[in-house]
Structure 1
């Protein structure tokens, strides 16, 4: 009850995104013709980063990497090294800026490359850049802080401000740096007057370490974003209980049912606002195979609310026949469901999907959480777009947003070592699952399903959470109308707490869900593997917890110890203390 009354009731659609930076940015931006900076959609860029000394400029390079995939090159053979890049970001000390190198930059401009030059040191060298048509960022000195801030300015993690400067050349006769806005998450764990970061860290550390000591999970990552600033991110424990590989913030996790809101739901949001689908129309209007079933008249809105009367789940793997699964790839078995485990071709199409369509339906209107719901919505989306869902989310969301690891079947794109292992499967695949979806049905569907299959880092989820806090805008680009975000994330059911696809704060305060100090604006989702994301417009907060609590076998200790909710409450406790 304290959490409810302390914060009060807010309508989600009244709460607009609020970027608030506690960083004083000394970076001066010149020559930002056509507002090139901050960069917009990131999928159109192939970025090379050029520095004379990789070690010296490591903070700059690392900060850039938080936003985009970049290729590091040196000054030697500059022209050849950047040949296949359409964006070239150069960072150097003022004494390294020579007339010869400036000519190479001009040539790169003539080769239609977008150049961004970050100079650290004496400003008089800027006179060499009179004829350069590209954005120039300047700091009076080189430090870890100025490097990180310059990098964040390039991508909109930090705004540049108007600053009166000494005139060094005809290019800068106005002597005024150009202003930009923050458009992306800010990565800099600096002192924050509103939040006691030391206290926050100690509270989260204690709970996370308890989880590991009690073997609720071998490892975890916690990330907290407030007002567009990362105020906490940390990896705990190890990939497994053998303690060989530490868990880091860059590890990729199986998100389980978080896939429902970070994979399928944004697709449905986009198609709804485009008028491609209508949630008030029945399944039978979109799926031919459903027209002859008991599902033909069920509205899509009921499906999204888990009120369609579907069975919670079907254990498809228990119905496998001898010969359906084999250890080696063949022309008849090319659906890889784990290492050394292949399923009969078209098993989803020929067996699983028909079984779902013909499964029992109970009266519509009662809330029954069901994985079948999102299988159905994926089918609706793919039939309407003629695009596989994994391709649709990459092209329309993850790529442009800079969600670098988010996607399905990560072993096709990333090394095994980057991905956190889940269960030692003893009943179906009989192998350690690492980079193959834990959920059996999703695996049998080829790793791509509406309810599960998505993998990502905490950072990717943070971007998605901030996009929603921003009412559909991120990186200076609009992905959803604000009213679409409000519609899907607000309470839409008369019989449950649910939004459309999204889970929400439970008004029965006895349930303390998702945590006892959360409030009516909170929405998000949890995942079976030990994951969650909760977005809080009232506090401009994104909270992410990722773990592999199902390793080596499924355990309920994470739930019994209430780890995810207690960490969320610890965040609220520190934030609320800062308000006093």
Structure 2
């Protein structure tokens, strides 16, 4: 492996165990010029983010834009200058005060001291020569004050400091050293990879896909050894090209929801012994007890071996008056702009129809959306909490998945969300922030098999959590054996794990790509998405698109866009090993 000796401080041996295989590889650690002067309460790097309300205060926000933008990649971070400091920071419990020694005058530092007196966490970040000494020597005894310094406020130093605060970069100098606990956003060229060459390959594939109308736009992201090596947006939200696609755009994940939404909930409940995968649907669901599904084990359901009907087009059975263009007391399930479904349609019609649908003999692999409808129902009955709320509380908010969730129009402007199909048969309009899958929409936007929306960065965080075998940000969310169990091959008749899809053992199928190896697991989505995790190469690959706009098209599949981009990344990694 080739490394730049100037920018690397050390080469460490890191190993990742997945299933029964041990993958050992070298991880380079770039020099970090940030020094942690004091960290008395071990606040840094930040751990769980769900209880932190963070603001960054700088004398001149425009001058510290790189710091602010990098902080905001990790969490919701408000930015202010010192005008109105007291009022602006009143509702935040964690205040990052940053600037040069000259800029951070005593009167400004007194404001920061008051924040610490008010029991807020204060991080004082000084961009200056380290010989200047502590800024707040009088507050050394206050465990709520953490002090840091870096060099001049260059773009690189600002980004390093921001990553250090969140654990995206290890602090390698001084007495208070830290480890990397989150993905980092350092210069990918420092990783010994030919990024320019890889970018040219991906650019060409993306250009071909858009020129041949496979999709109007896309976002591609890759994380290698915990560092983002590629993150780029292409094209526009629609073929009208009025809204350029951004890396921060939110996409409908379609079936990627299965492994990012439903499956982690089931993983958590299984390891907490709330559920037992070898117990049956009848053990957990009263309504299933008198059906042909009562004796089907949950493990069989997760493997898509329960013999369920692959797909039920519920929207085709709607009767006159079930859906209308205006909301009233009887129609409050919003399935799109100007489209409202009659209340409780999922409870009264869809779920009973699924429970009473035909079942073929168990054991053979038949991919079915009903499987994840079932697992969502099991989770909600056992937790007494809607799944969309449960996943936010136990996982997304703590690890910093800022946009991931269901029904995004309740939280974000539609301009941030990439539109999918113009639905001319069911909802009679363009779907902007409403789930593309008809059944999920009719279930209120929250379903086991679809409904989740997110950015590429959120998926990168989740993928790294899995690569870390359950830890992220210095906190453990899953036991290593839980991650290994669900992501490894668990079927005798298919390539599947529990909830997760996997690389096909038949190399002639080149799934998910020609150069993918047997350690790879993840999932694809109908809207033109995928998330693949590769423990052997310590790689997370994300592809997000809206290939169903303005109508469903198979061109993305025919051009093999997702797989070819994945192989372009593998080619770059393999070249670095020569």
TM > 0.5: yes
Q: Which digits, 9 at most, give the CA deviation of each residue in 1:11-69, with x for residues without a partner?
A: 64544797935531011111111211000111101111100101100000000000000
Residues 142-174 of structure 1 deviation map (CA, whole Å, 9 limit, x = unaligned): 2000000000000000011233xxxxxxxxxxx
CA distance change for structure 1 residues 230 and 193 in 2, over 3 Å: closer, same or farther? closer
Is contact 2:309-2:370 (8 Å) kept? Answer: yes
Mapped to 1, the partners of 2:334 and 2:57 lie a distance apart of: 40
Structure-2 separation of matches of 1:556 and 1:88? 49
Moved more, 491-500 or 206-215: 206-215
TM superposition score normalised by structure 2 = 0.95
Which sits farther off after the overlay, 117-126 or 528-537? 117-126
Q: Give the whole-Å Cα distance in 2 for the aligned partners of 1:217 and 1:193.
A: 31
- Structure 1 match to 2:302: 304
Q: Does 1:263 align with 2:261?
A: yes
Match in the other structure for 1:166:
none
Q: Identify which of 358, 362, 365 aligns with 1:364.
A: 362
Of 87, 91, 96, which residue of structure 2 is paired with 1:84? 91
1:429 equivalent to 2:427? Answer yes
Give the deviation of 1:80 after TM superposition.
Answer: 1.7
Distance 1:99 1:17, change over 3 A: farther
Equivalence map 1:476-487=2 (5 Å): 476-487=474-485
Q: Which residue of 2 aligns with 1:538?
A: 536
| 2:149 is the alignment partner of 1:144 | no
Structure 2 distance, partners of 1:579, 1:34, is 41
The equivalences for 1:52-71 within 5 A come to 52-71=59-78
* Match of residue 159 from structure 1: 170
What is the aligned counterpart of 1:42 among 40, 46, 49?
49
Would the alpha carbon gap of residues 276 and 153 (structure 1) be closer, same or farther in structure 2, given more than 3 Å must change? Answer: same
Distance in 2 (alpha carbons) for counterparts of 1:17 and 1:458: 27
CA contact (8 A) 2:257 2:450 kept: yes
2:494 pairs with 1:496: yes
- 2:128 paired with 1:121: yes
Once the two structures are TM-superposed, the CA of residue 129 in structure 1 deviates from its matched residue by 1.2
Equivalent position of 2:4 in the other structure: none
Match of 1:320 among 318, 343, 359: 318
Distance 2:186 2:436 in 1: 34
CA shift, 1:572, in A, is 0.8
Which range moves more in the overlay, 200-209 or 535-544? 200-209
Q: TM (normalized to structure 1)?
A: 0.95
Alignment-derived partner of residue 410 in structure 1? 408
Whole-angstrom CA distance in 2 between matches of 1:189 and 1:139: 18
Q: Is the 8 A contact 1:19 1:229 kept in 2?
A: no
How far did residue 125 of structure 1 move? 4.5
Equivalents in 2 of 1:303, 1:246: separation in Å? 40
Query: Secondary structure at 2:542's aligned position in 1?
Result: strand
Distance 1:13 1:206 in 2: 38
Instruction: Choose between structure 1 and 2: higher strand proportion.
Output: 2
Distance 2:572 2:134 in 1: 49
Q: Find the aligned partners of 2:195 and 2:155 in 1 and give their Cα distance.
A: 20
Distance (whole Å) between structure 2 residues aligned to residue 362 and residue 127 of structure 1: 72
Which residue of structure 2 aligns with residue 273 of structure 1? 271
Equivalence map 1:7-406=2 (5 Å): 12-15=19-22, 20-123=27-130, 125-132=132-139, 133=142, 134-163=145-174, 177-406=175-404
Contact 1:15/1:537 (8 A) holds in 2: no
Tell me, which stretches of 5 or more residues in structure 2 are unaligned?
1-16
Shift of 1:117: 1.1
The match for 1:463 among 456, 461, 464 is 461
Larger deviation: 358-367 or 154-163?
154-163
Are the counterparts in 1 of residues 32 and 173 from structure 2 also a CA contact under 8 Å? no
- The offset of 1:124, in angstroms, is 5.1
Paired position in structure 2 for 1:170: none
Once the two structures are superposed, residues 435-475 of structure 1 have per-residue CA deviations (whole angstroms, 9 ceiling, x without a partner) of: 00000000000000000000000000000000000000000
Distance 1:74 1:21 in 2: 36
Counterpart of 1:172 in structure 2 is none
Residue 317 to residue 202, structure 1, CA distance change in 2 (3 Å): same
CA contact (8 A) 1:218 1:237 kept: yes
Q: How far did 1:224 drift?
A: 0.3
Question: Does structure 1 retain, via aligned residues, the 8 Å contact 2:441–2:451?
Answer: yes
> 1: CA distance between counterparts of 2:135 and 2:149?
13
